[in-house]
Chain A
Amino acid sequence: MAHPSVPRTLSSTEIGFVAVERRVRISCDDSALCDFLSRNFEGFDAWDLSEEADLAYVIEGDPASSTFVLSTPRRPALNTSDPGKLLFSLEKSLTADLQRARSDLLFLHAAALERNGLAYLLVGESGSGKSTTAWGLLRHGFAYLSDELSPIDLGSLRVFRYPHAISFKRPPPVGYELPHKGVADFGRTMRLPVTGISAAVSSGPCPLGAVLFVRYSADLTQPALLSVSAGEATARLYLSTLNALSHPSNGLDAVMRIVRAVPCFQLETTADLKATCELIGSLRP
């Protein structure tokens, strides 16, 4: 388990890091923007840029229009003056390219936390509270793997880390406030780099321990962990797969392999984040 390390900017205009065992290079001719982007990826391991990158992205400023142009290997160039939009598009391209580069892995839209060497996946629709629950768990002894992307090796059932900045759609509740400094506020989302989380970042990959389907229940007074049938878990986990078509039987057998191997629960969360985290902490898969 490693702690947050230095930003991955290795020069004022280049960022190099390793994501899911692939070397990523981001070249950016604006040092301020490069510094801003590097904070998003500071949880990843660095590489020294001496070898050829597996995935390369170029961002160039256009002084005439005061915009940036993002060039990616497979998509049309994006032209924007909004750093938040640029980061969103860069990450969208990166995660799509990683799925192509590591088509042997099953990519899930899920947060992942580590405790005692095991990974716990938080699966849920966008806005279901994955990031908030993940943020809470980091205050309860869990280490950070990812807040939304969990690639899984189907042979070993190990979960790779994707420790980019944690993205929040709303501020966490009282007692779990975000730090005063370091949060990038994009209006619709806030991003907290891993140096701001005051918790361990998992060095991963680590074996999958359990899958939790997260749902916020406003009418409950206490959070609850409910058992889920294997069929229901299969259907729900399948909906969170990002690269199902890369796998035989459209990924259905891959998902069933996961469901057969680890316990799956429905996690009903409430406004009481502390109780929710303590409930998850009581799990012994």
Chain B
Amino acid sequence: MSIHIDRSLIVREIDAEVVILNTRSNEIHRLNTTASQIWRYLQDGKDPAEIARQMATDFDVRESAALADVNSMVRELKALVAVPT
């Protein structure tokens, strides 16, 4: 899975946090560090299962719990700004 960044979005990173400016709606969003990490994994082309595996290792949580969180976050990101392709 990858994240398609629409041309109306301006994405920047500052101190490990992703900031997304939607120039069409004139809304600005700041992702917290966890959401920013998921965003980066998606940008790298990882799918939710791979991301959950990685995050289960990083944060010492069960992979099933991580997957639920990742899926939820991906849904939020999709709704927020991005169109997965």
Q: Does B23 contact A (CB under 8 A)?
A: yes
A260 CA to B14 CA in the complex, in Å? 8
A250 in complex: contacting residue of B14, B18, B23, B31, CB < 8 Å = B23
Of all A-B residue pairs in the complex, the 7 with the closest CB atoms, nearest first, are A231-B17, A230-B15, A235-B30, A231-B30, A230-B14, A235-B28, A252-B21
CB distance from B12 to the nearest CB of A (A): 6
Sample of 19 further A-B pairs with CB below 8 A, known A234-B28, A238-B21, A252-B19: A229-B30, A230-B17, A231-B14, A231-B17, A231-B18, A231-B19, A231-B30, A231-B31, A231-B36, A232-B30, A234-B30, A235-B29, A235-B30, A239-B28, A249-B21, A252-B12, A252-B21, A252-B28, A259-B14
Contact with A along B6-33 (1 / 0, CB 8 A): 0000101011011101010000111110
CB distance from B74 to the nearest CB of A (A): 19
Q: Is the interface of A mostly helix, strand, loop or mixed?
A: helix
Q: Which residues of A contact B21 (CB under 8 A)?
A: 238, 249-250, 252
A259 CA to B17 CA in the complex, in Å? 13
Contact with B along A232-249 (1 / 0, CB 8 A): 101100110000000001
A232 CA to B32 CA in the complex, in Å? 9
Is A238 within 8 A of B28, CB to CB? yes
CB distance from A109 to the nearest CB of B (A): 15
A229 in complex: contacting residue of B10, B15, B23, B29, CB < 8 Å = B15
Instruction: Using CB atoms, name the residue of chain A closest to B29.
Output: A235
Instruction: Using CB atoms, name the residue of chain B closest to A231.
Output: B17
Is B30 within 8 A of A250, CB to CB? no
Instruction: Using CB atoms, name the residue of chain A closest to B18.
Output: A231
